[in-house]
Amino acid sequence: MNLVGSRLAGIAMAGAMALASMAPIAGAASAGEAASKAAEAEGLLAAGKVKEAIDAFDASAEAFWKAAPLAFRKALFVDDVKSYGEYVAHAGSTFAPGSELKIYAEPVGFGWTDESDTHRIAFKTEIEIRNDKGVIFAKSPAPAKLEKIGSSPSRDFHLTVGFRLPELKPGSYKLILTVTDEATGKTAPIELPLTIS
């Protein structure tokens, strides 16, 4: 039990520090709530109230999550995806014209929509391919929709977006995947350099 308590205390302290540093980005009120809940979790843990400490820590994480902008822990080209955190990264960023491409991304700061006894995560994605001058060479015809419905809200969520490259001339490009969270309306781009050979 001491091992778990020590780890949770360290996590609570790290969470409080991260939340304090995020205050200028997310707003002092939201970051303050998250930091105070993290401090409460640490105090409860020190008092031996593990369950209450976990509940307070969860409340801290939820406040942080709501205050955070939509962002991505990871975003990369992949060859295969099995589930969250289980993927085979593509070697480099070079592709042949007309080849199939997959992007794996782990978003943070998204929301859930409560529907009866379930929680729904939903995103819309749009793709553009531009050159270094910003000229758009290809664009998705309509937003793609990605969603997951679960019994509990989950922060371990990944996006996998697949598409076929157009027949572009060899050269350097930038792929821009714009992701919009339907629950919060937050939007964020993923920009990945891309070489056509």
Give residue limits of the domains in the chain: 2-67, 71-196
Beta bridge partners of 90: none
Q: Kindly give the confidence (pLDDT) of every residue in the chain, 197 residues in length, as a single tens digit, with 9 standing for 90 and above.
A: 333 333 333 333 334 334 333 444 444 445 688 888 899 999 999 999 999 999 999 899 889 988 999 999 999 999 999 999 999 999 999 999 999 999 999 999 999 988 888 999 999 999 999 998 999 999 988 888 999 988 887 888 999 999 899 999 999 999 999 999 999 999 999 999 999 99
Question: How much is the pLDDT for 30?
Answer: 58
List the CATH code of the domain at 71-196.
2.60.40.10
Q: Per the structure block, which two tokens stand in for 100?
A: 């199939």
Whole-number Å distance between alpha carbons of 126 and 159: 13
Choose among 58, 63, 68: nearest CA to 24: 68
- The pLDDT assigned to 17 comes to 38
pLDDT for 136: 94
Q: What is the pLDDT of residue 142?
A: 80
For residue 126, what pLDDT is reported?
95
Place of tokens 């758009």: 136
According to DSSP, the residues that pair with 77 across neighbouring strands are 103
Determine the residue type at 12: A
> What pLDDT is recorded for position 31?
64
pTM above 0.85, yes or no: no
Helix 2-26 / helix 50-67 crossing angle, nearest 10 deg: 20
Cα torsion angle, 10, 48, 41, 119, sign:
positive
- Residue 160: which of 92, 102, 88 has the closest Cα? 102
Largest interatomic CA distance in the chain: 65
19 Rama class: left (phi>0) / alpha (psi -120 to 50) / beta: alpha
- Note whether 11 and 42 are within 8 A (CB): no
DSSP E strand boundaries for 48-186: 71-83, 86-89, 94-95, 100-108, 113-115, 118-130, 136-139, 144-150, 159-164, 171-181
